[in-house]
Amino acid sequence: MADTKSAKLVLNDQSYDLPILTPTIGPEVLDIRKLYGQADVFTYDPGFTSTASCDSTITFIDGDKGELWYRGYPIEQLAAKSHYLEVCYLLLYGELPDADQLKDFESRVTHHTMVHEQMNNFFRGFRRDAHPMATMVGVVGAMSAFYHDSTDIADPWQREVAAIRLIAKLPTIAAMAYKYSIGQPFVYPQNELDYASNFLHMCFSVPAAKYTVDPALARAMDRIFTLHADHEQNASTSTVRLAGSSGANPFACIAAGIACLWGPAHGGANQAALEMLKEIGTVDRIPEYIARAKDKNDPFKLMGFGHRVYKNFDPRAKVMKESADEVLDLLGIHNNPTLQVAKELEKIALEDEYFIEKKLYPNVDFYSGIILSAMGFPTSMFTPIFALSRTVGWIAQWKEMIGDPQNKIGRPRQLYVGSNKRDYVDVAKR
């Protein structure tokens, strides 16, 4: 990055030069790091709508054009030609692997898929009706109590082992959370299966019957993982970076990311979107919900619509929609009422002035829920599947931050609007 250009800020008759940083692509960035020291002012940006919190080489998004690239490669190409573990390698190490590198990486991940047997006891401490995300936050956080040999963040080798462990074990933990919630025995990973097939196997097989993974469904699952693998500095990734900036261990940081992802404005939207479609129930009730979404006095929002960054379309949603059509065809699901509501809602919303004007399009969560539901996952598993897919993005961003010599503890400032200094009044006199 060159910082030869600068902007001028005039404040109380004083002029300050703010260097302009030039990215590979995307908007230029005003460097305000020295502003407080020089001018005694903070900048104000709740929700970080205009603030770059770090440099990153991992993911690029152009929200106006609807583009998403991992390490420069467009998501559409990766979804069509690559597969999740290759994408994991790309996100972690910056380049696509050659055949030997890929084989070695796959073998390293595969050999870490089991969790410590004693971790089963953690699951048993949860209520059976606990949300699988609640279980995952707890169990992933607890990994730091088991894998002491990969918590020293100053050691690059330990960081590497932690990354592989997290990518390998998250599907196992998500599947265990699911099995526990439905009262079935845990199913151990099978290392001869590919990543997506192994996950489907751990979720849907039972010891009493033979289960064969349908390769077309495994491919659709793999695509869901790929499309969710990273999304630059979103809320959960920023949470992971902020937690990691204090020196917290990687397992604790990823648990923090999972907690953040759970919210319905973020990863929880896939569950909320399908629940909304079920609540609408029939096509004739759609106008009522569209009216509610537009009503300023009603907090209701159409879940699965809108995005902070994409104001044209969500490129992941395009691929996901194609995948949804393929999966539904494959499973012979055509007249499902939820699907009919989804299709009609999408059509009406895309033609409605309110949604056009506010640039609200179906996002990735709108279609992923439809696929996952068709595959047999309950809505409560949608966000855990997002979490396991995003783990590689979180860990790649965390590794990038730890390896960055500019890394400092994240510490935003505030606009204080509370009381001015006042004296304590004894309770009897209040």
How many angstroms separate the CA atoms of 3 and 18, rounded? 10
Identity of the residue, 123 or 289, whose beta carbon is nearer to ligand ACO in the bound complex: 289
Q: Which stretch binds ligand ACO (CB under 6 A): 37-45, 121-129, 297-305, 411-419?
A: 297-305
Q: Is 90 in the site for ligand ACO (CB under 6 A)?
A: no
Q: Which 254-273 residues touch ligand ACO, going by CB under 6 A?
A: 265-267, 269
Torsions phi, psi for 233 (to 5 deg): -90, 50
Q: Which stretch binds ligand ACO (CB under 6 A): 105-113, 151-159, 243-251, 300-308?
A: 300-308
Please check whether residue 246 is in contact with residue 253, taking contact to mean a CB–CB distance below 8 angstroms: no
Identity of the residue, 173 or 364, whose beta carbon is nearer to ligand ACO in the bound complex: 364
How many angstroms separate the CA atoms of 115 and 176, rounded? 10
Q: Is 304 in the site for ligand ACO (CB under 6 A)?
A: yes
Name every residue whose Cβ is closer than 8 Å to that of residue 286 and which is 6 or more positions away in sequence: 280, 341, 344, 345, 348
CB of 183 to ligand ACO, least distance (A): 30
For tokens 């990994």, name the residue: 143
CB of 70 to ligand ACO, least distance (A): 15
**How many Cβ atoms sit within 10 Å of the Cβ of residue 328?**
16
Among 86, 105, 106, 120, residue whose Cα is nearest residue 188: 120
Report CA 318 to chain centroid distance, whole Å.
Answer: 18
Q: Is 226 in the site for ligand ACO (CB under 6 A)?
A: no
Identity of the residue, 269 or 342, whose beta carbon is nearer to ligand ACO in the bound complex: 269
Identity of the residue, 295 or 329, whose beta carbon is nearer to ligand ACO in the bound complex: 295
Provide the 3-class DSSP secondary structure of residue 376: coil
Q: Is 301 in the site for ligand ACO (CB under 6 A)?
A: yes
Positions marked catalytic: 307, 365
Q: Is 216 in the site for ligand ACO (CB under 6 A)?
A: no
Per rule CB under 6 A, count of chain residues that contact ligand ACO: 18
Structure tokens at 331: 């499973």
Please check whether residue 377 is in contact with residue 203, taking contact to mean a CB–CB distance below 8 angstroms: yes
Torsions phi, psi for 380 (to 5 deg): -65, -15
Q: What character string, x for contact with ligand ACO (CB under 6 A) and - otherwise, covers 336-365? A: ----------------------x-x--xxx
Identity of the residue, 266 or 321, whose beta carbon is nearer to ligand ACO in the bound complex: 266
Q: Is 305 in the site for ligand ACO (CB under 6 A)?
A: yes
How many angstroms separate the CA atoms of 316 and 386, rounded? 13
Positions touching ligand ACO (CB under 6 A) are 265-267, 269, 293, 301-308, 358, 360, 363-365
